Homo-oligomer: A and B are copies of this chain.
C-alpha cells in the first residue's frame, strides 16, 4: 500500500556548476564517482555538473520519466521505489551521500526517487557524463565498481526478501544502516532513521504494523533502544547479528 501522494513542489533550483560549484571543496568526494579524479580533472567535472537541493518528500524523478540525467548524492537520504499497478510499493533502496543514482536506467527511469530528508545532489547530463567517463578511465572503473557493489547489495536484499523472517529482516536492515553509516565516517550507533515505519516496511516486504511490532519486541529484549527524533541505539551488536542470521 502506501501509495504516498507526491506533493512534489518542483521549485526548479538547479545551479550551473560554473557559478559557485565547489567540487574542490566537496566534503564527500571520497565517496562519489569523483573520488579518483585529480585536481585538474575536477575542473572538467565542474563544467558539466549542476547542483540541486531537495526538501523531504520532493520527487527527483518518477518511474517512466525520460532518463536524461544521472546523479550523485552529496547530502541527505533518498529513497528509490517501484509501484505495482494497484499501488503496492517496493522500496528498492535507500541512498546516502556518495551514492550514485540512475544506474540501471535506459531511456526511461524504471523507478522513482524521492528525498526523505533535505538533500543535495550533483546532476550530470547523460551524454556529458558518458564523455567524462571516456576521458577519465579511473572514474569509469570507479563507477563500475559502485555498480558491482550495488549488484551485490541487490542479491543480499533478495535473500532477505525471499527467505528471512520479519525479525531477521529488521535486524539485517539495522545492521546495514549501521555499517553504511560507519563507511561514511559516522559512528555505528546510534543510527538516525530518516525513514518511517511505512518506508521500512515497504523496503523489507512487511506491513507497517509488523514492522512496528518487531521494533517493539527488539526494544523489549534490550537489543536496541528507541531514542528521541527517530534515532536507534544498537545496544547489543552481537545479538543483532545473531538475529540477522547472515549467510
Contacts and interface: CB of A to CB of B under 8 A. Distances in A.
Interface in A111-145: 111, 134, 137, 140, 144
B147 A84 contact: no
A151 B147 contact: yes
A111 B155 contact: yes
Contacts of A137: 134
Contacts of A18: none
Interface string A81-104: 011111011101000000000011
Interface stretch (A158-166, A179-187, A221-229): A158-166
A216 interface: no
A155 B245 contact: no
A152 interface: yes
Nearest to A205: B162
A106 interface: yes
A148 interface: yes
Contact of A155 (B82, B84, B86, B205): B82
A24 interface: no
A179 to B, nearest CB: 15
Contact of A161 (B85, B148, B158, B247): B158
A88 B169 CA distance: 14
A148 B106 CA distance: 8
Nearest to A134: B137
Interface string A201-221: 011110000000000000000
Counting chain B CB atoms within 10 Å of each CB, which of A63, A90, A147 scores highest? A90
B155 A155 contact: no
A246 interface: yes
Given A147-B144, A151-B151, A151-B154, A163 B245 contact: no
Interface of A: 63, 82-86, 88-90, 92, 103-106, 110-111, 134, 137, 140, 144, 147-152, 154-155, 157-159, 161-164, 202-205, 245-247
Given A82-B155, A106-B148, 13 more contacts: A84-B246, A89-B163, A90-B159, A92-B158, A103-B151, A104-B148, A104-B149, A104-B152, A147-B151, A151-B151, A154-B154, A162-B202, A163-B205
